[in-house]
């Protein structure tokens, strides 16, 4: 019996065509709605914990410095011992005070003895120190646990002043003056070899004294090699400074103008032997001219 062969036909059927006027909807993924369960409660708890932690940090930030401040202000370990009248106090040191009265310096800190050094207003105390005439600059620092250190820079006097007594017709007052025109009280015990300066008074404005003393200080620096021979300086005219000094046993007054002080003085000293032979009685000389010297009587001596 003959074998009958069969064939398998695979047919690919097309999708049914869409019906006119009908749009097929493609199902979209379903949006997740709010979850039910304990998640919202956990979120609220986390927020509460964050807020609570923040409040704790803020409270601690205010609480800790306050108690540190109270501790530093009241603990006995930080109290400055002694008093302003004490002659020596290892807890209160003053450096650089040579002519400035130590007792006056200590009295600036009178309210600080017996209380914590933490409470000492350093900037305010420094300003008070600068009001002392001899103090040019000052620094104040704490030395823990219970010490105060003061470092002073004193003014350097350049001349003595002889001033009328303040507000009265009394005896003359002796004072000192520095290169900035600050008038200083003479120290109780000091040996100073300085010339006497005329032309500076208390009544002059501070700016005028400072400007005039600028000229005087320049003269003093230039004539330093002859400082021991100069006894007086007259700055009544700031543009014509006059020095009094001893030359070959004679006291002479020399008008030096406002510049070239050293060159003019040295030129005069080189020629003084000849000058004194020709003008033995002359005591005041004008050295401001470069070509010759003029004596007080009007005679001149060529270089």
pLDDT of residue 96: 96
Q: For position 34, what pLDDT does the model report?
A: 52
**226 and 100 housed in the same domain:** no
Residue 243 structure tokens: 């020095």
The structure tokens listed for 103 are 């007792």
Q: Reduced to 3 states, what is the DSSP secondary structure of residue 253?
A: strand
Q: Kindly state whether residue 280 falls inside one of the protein's structural domains.
A: yes
Tokens 């000052």 -> residue? 138
* DSSP track, 144-191: TTTEEEEEEEE--EEEEEEEPPTTSS---EEEEEETT--EEPPPSS--
| Judgement on whether residues 179 and 144 belong to the same structural domain of the protein | no
Measuring CA to CA, how many Å separate 197 from each of 185, 215, 221, 231, 263?
A: 15, 12, 15, 9, 22
| Domain stops at, among 137, 154, 171 | 154
Residue 238 included in any domain? yes
Boundary-marking domain end, from 154, 173, 192: 154
Assess whether 137 and 193 both reside in one domain: no
280 shares a domain with 291:
yes
**182 and 278 housed in the same domain:** yes
CATH number at residue 130: 3.10.20.310
Is residue 171 a part of any domain in this protein?
yes
Q: Do 167 and 297 belong to one domain?
A: yes
Per-residue pLDDT of the chain (303 residues; tens, 9 = 90+): 444 444 443 434 444 455 444 444 545 555 555 555 566 777 776 776 676 566 656 655 655 676 677 888 889 999 999 988 877 899 999 999 999 998 899 999 999 999 999 999 999 999 999 999 999 999 999 999 999 999 999 999 999 998 876 655 667 889 999 999 999 999 887 789 999 999 999 999 999 999 999 999 999 999 999 999 999 999 999 999 999 999 999 999 999 999 999 999 999 999 999 999 988 889 999 999 877 889 975 455 444
**Contacts of 298 by beta carbon, 8 Å cutoff, 6+ apart:** none
How many Å apart are CA 74 and CA 55, to the nearest integer?
A: 29
Domain assignment present for 164: yes
Q: Cα–Cα–Cα angle for 129, 135, 139, nearest 5°?
A: 55
User: Which pLDDT does position 292 carry in this prediction?
Assistant: 81
- Are residues 164 and 286 part of one domain? yes
- Do residues 190 and 268 both lie within one domain? yes
The C-alpha R_g of the chain, in whole angstroms, comes to 46
One domain, residues 238 and 138 = no
pLDDT value of position 139:
98
Total of domains in the chain:
2
Residue 256 is assigned to a structural domain of this protein? yes
Residue 1 covered by a domain: no
Quote the CA–CA distance of 272 and 249 in Å, as a whole number.
12
Instruction: Name the 3-class secondary structure at 204.
Output: coil
The last residue of one of the domains, among 101, 124, 154, is: 154
The whole domain housing 274 covers 157-302
CATH number at residue 259: 3.40.50.11690
Residue 52: count of CB within 10 angstroms of its CB: 10
| Co-location of 263 and 177 in the same domain | yes
The answer to whether position 20 is within a domain reads no
Q: Do 112 and 209 fall within a single domain? A: no
Q: Write down the pTM of the prediction.
A: 0.73
Measure the CA–CA gap between 299 and 283, rounded to whole angstroms: 12
Q: Alpha-carbon distance 163 to 197, whole Å?
A: 10
Tokens of residue 278, six digits: 């020709």
Report if residue 66 sits inside a domain: no
- 128 and 180 housed in the same domain: no
């Amino acid at each position: 019996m003959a074998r009958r062969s069969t064939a398998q036909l695979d047919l690919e059927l097309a999708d049914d065509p869409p019906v006119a006027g009908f749009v097929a909807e493609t199902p979209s993924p379903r949006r997740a709605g709010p979850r039910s369960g304990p998640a919202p409660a956990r979120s609220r708890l986390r927020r509460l914990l964050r807020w609570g932690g923040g409040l704790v940090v803020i409270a601690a930030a205010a609480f800790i410095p306050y108690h540190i401040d109270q501790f530093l202000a009241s603990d006995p370990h930080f109290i400055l011992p002694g008093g302003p009248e004490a002659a020596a106090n290892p807890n209160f040191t003053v450096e650089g005070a040579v002519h400035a009265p130590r007792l006056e310096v200590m009295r600036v800190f009178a309210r600080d003895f017996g209380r914590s050094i933490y409470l000492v207003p350093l900037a305010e105390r420094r300003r008070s120190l600068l009001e002392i005439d001899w103090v040019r600059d000052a620094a104040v620092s704490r030395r823990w646990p219970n010490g105060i250190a003061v470092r002073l820079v004193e003014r350097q006097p350049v001349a003595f002043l002889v001033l009328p007594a303040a507000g009265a017709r009394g005896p003359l007052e002796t004072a000192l003056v520095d290169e900035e025109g600050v008038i200083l009280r003479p120290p109780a015990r000091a040996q100073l070899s300085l010339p006497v300066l005329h032309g500076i008074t208390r009544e002059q404005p501070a700016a005028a004294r400072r400007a005039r003393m600028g000229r005087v200080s320049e003269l003093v620096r230039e004539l330093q090699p002859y400082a021991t021979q100069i006894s007086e300086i007259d700055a009544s005219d700031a543009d014509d400074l006059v020095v009094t000094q001893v030359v070959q046993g004679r006291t002479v007054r020399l008008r030096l103008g406002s510049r070239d002080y050293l060159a003019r003085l040295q030129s005069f000293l080189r020629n003084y032997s000849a000058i004194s032979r020709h003008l033995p009685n002359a005591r005041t000389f004008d050295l401001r001219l470069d070509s010759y010297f003029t004596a007080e009587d009007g005679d001149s001596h060529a270089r």
